[in-house]
Structure 1
Amino acid sequence: MKASPEAQRRLLDLQAVDTALAQLAHRRKSLPELAEIDTVSRELSALEDERVRAQVAVDDIERDITRFEKDIEQVRQRKDRDQKRLDGGGALREIEGLQHELTTLNRRQSELEDAELELMEQKETAEATLTEVKARLAAAATRREEAERRRDEAMSDITKETEFKNASRGPLSADLPADLVALYDKIRTESGLGAALFRSGRCGGCRIELYGADLNRVKSAAPDDVVRCEECRRIMVRTAESGL
């Protein structure tokens, strides 16, 4: 293939733009915020599970307390009825029976109240745990929001820079011979780098130094010959910097 030395030199400008675009694409995929968001999201998921368990513990205790309160209220109502009957007098056996039942009810009420008090203490502990989990959940959510904000800002910057590079690539590519660009794009698609400067006897693509016949091939090539590296097959652009 033939192409003017100037067209080949400008191929390096095109490669510089494409390299920048590739770097931008890599930056987009490897932003540290993406990994941070993923980590915090997993943390949020685990914390939400923890919050649910803590909430269930509080709800279970509250349900037990409600049940004890009902039991205690039933005992009180029964005590009131027995006390009224006792105050109304009656046969000795009936009075003794009421007194015995009142004693039993007082003991039952005391046991229920002690159990309710213990549950209330457990509820305080469970609520403290729930509050602490909610605080960690809120803090993690804030961290994720902040990471998402930074990600969006970085993505916006990358998008703007990508659009700028693409805008400059179009005219640059259009001004070059179509067959040269086609060859360059084919090589770049396969290896990531389509053209590189040949300098100091070394291919700028694979960094291999040429000797003997290989070096003579490059030196003896006409200025408008499109020379490719025998090793990596990339276009080796010769300029004043090549030292030939």
Structure 2
Amino acid sequence: MKASPRQQRLLLDLQDLDTATARLKRKRAGIPERSELAALSGEAESAKASFMEAQRELDGHGAELARIEADVEMVRQRRTRDEQLLAVSTSPKEAQALQSELDTLTRRTGELEDRELEIMEAQEAAQAGFDAAEAVLSGVEAKRTALREQIAAAEAEIDAQLARQADERGGLSAEIQRDLVEIYEDLRGRIGIGAARLRGNVSEASNMSLTPAELSTIRATADDELIFCPGTGAILVRVEGE
């Protein structure tokens, strides 16, 4: 196939753009903060599990304390009633029964107050544990948020570069004859590179020196005739004049 030397050189510009684009895409996929964010996943799960456990413990103490306070209130109301009945009672037997119940309620009040104190102390310790777990979780989430923001910023910068290169590639492709672009695209899709320079006796497609026989064949080929790398099959563009 024939293509002017200028057209062939435009292929090198197209390849340089495609190489730069591929490099940017690899850079986007390999943004360092991605691995840091992934590494925090386990730490975040552990911190969340600890936080949830601390919350359950704190809630459990709160529920138990509420039950005890309800019992204390019930006993208080019962004592108030018995005291009122005792104050107006005229029956010794009834008065003795009321007093016995009051003694029992007094003991029960003491037991409940002791238990209430124990729960309040446990609740205080649980609150400290909850606060510590919450601080750890907040710290991990803050790190993750910061990393996500850094990733988003890096992606936005790279995407802007990719967009500029895509625009440039579109304009450049329009300058190259269609059949030549089609050959280039087919080669790039199959072997990863569409065109490369031939500098002296070295093919930049394979980074290897060509044999004297291969060079002789190339030198005998007209400048407007496409030549291909013997090692890779990519289009070779002669650039001895650069």
**CA deviation vs aligned residue, 1:55-111 (integer Å, no higher than 9, x gap):** 232222111111111112222222333344445565555554444433332222222
2:134 partner letter = K
SS in 1 for 2:168: helix
Aligned-residue sequence identity (percent) comes to 36
Q: Which moved more, 1:191-200 or 1:215-224?
A: 215-224
Map of 1:21 onto structure 2: 21
TM-score by length of 2: 0.85
Distance in 2 (alpha carbons) for counterparts of 1:176 and 1:91: 118
Where 2:227 maps in the other structure, the secondary structure is: coil
Partner of 1:173: 173
Distance apart, 1:160 and its partner CA: 1.9
Q: Is the 8 A contact 1:203 1:209 kept in 2?
A: yes
Contact 2:206 2:232 in 1 (8 A): yes
Residue 68 of structure 1: aligned partner: 68
- Whole-Å Cα distance in 1 between the matches of residues 116 and 191 of structure 2? 74
Matches within 5 A, 1:101-120: 101-120=101-120
Three-state SS of the structure 1 residue aligned to 2:198 is: strand
Matched, 1:237 2:237: yes
Q: 1:113 to 1:241 in 2, by over 3 A?
A: farther
Query: 2-side partners of 1:166 and 1:98: how far apart?
Result: 94
Q: Is the 8 A contact 1:17 1:169 kept in 2?
A: yes
CA distance in 1, matches of 2:42, 2:61: 29
Q: Which structure 1 residue ranges, 4+ long, deviate > 6 Å from structure 2?
A: none
Quick check: 1:199–1:241 contact (8 Å CA) kept in 2?
no
C-alpha separation between the residues in 1 aligned to 2:73 and 2:167?
A: 80
**1:155 Cα deviation (Å)?**
2.1
My pick for the range that moved more, 187-196 or 215-224, is 215-224
Alignment of 1:165-244 (within 5 A): 165-240=165-240
Tell me the CA shift for residue 10 of structure 1.
2.5
Secondary structure class of the residue paired with 2:208: coil
Tell me by how many angstroms 1:186 deviates. Answer: 0.9
Q: Which runs of 5+ in 1 are unaligned?
A: none
Q: What is the RMSD computed on CA atoms of the aligned residues?
A: 2.7
Moved more, 230-239 or 97-106: 97-106
Q: Which residue of 1 aligns with 2:32?
A: 32
1:124-203 equivalences under 5 Å are: 124-203=124-203
Q: Which ranges in structure 2 are unaligned for 5 or more consecutive residues?
A: none
TM-score, with length taken from structure 1: 0.84
| Bigger Cα displacement from structure 2, 142-151 vs 92-101 | 92-101
Alpha-carbon distance between aligned partners in 2 of 1:145 and 1:191, rounded to the nearest angstrom: 40
Alpha-carbon separation, structure 2, partners of 1:123 and 1:217: 90
1:176-231 per-position Cα deviation (integer Å, ceiling 9, x unaligned): 22222211111112222111112353321222332243343334333223111222
Indicate the SS of the match to 1:60: helix
Deviates more, 1:198-207 or 1:38-47: 38-47
Residue 187 of structure 2 aligns with an amino acid whose one-letter code is I
Greater Cα offset, 66-75 or 49-58: 49-58
Structure 1 CA distance for aligned equivalents of residues 166 and 12 of structure 2 = 16
Q: Measure, in 2, the Cα distance between the counterparts of 1:124 and 1:191.
A: 68
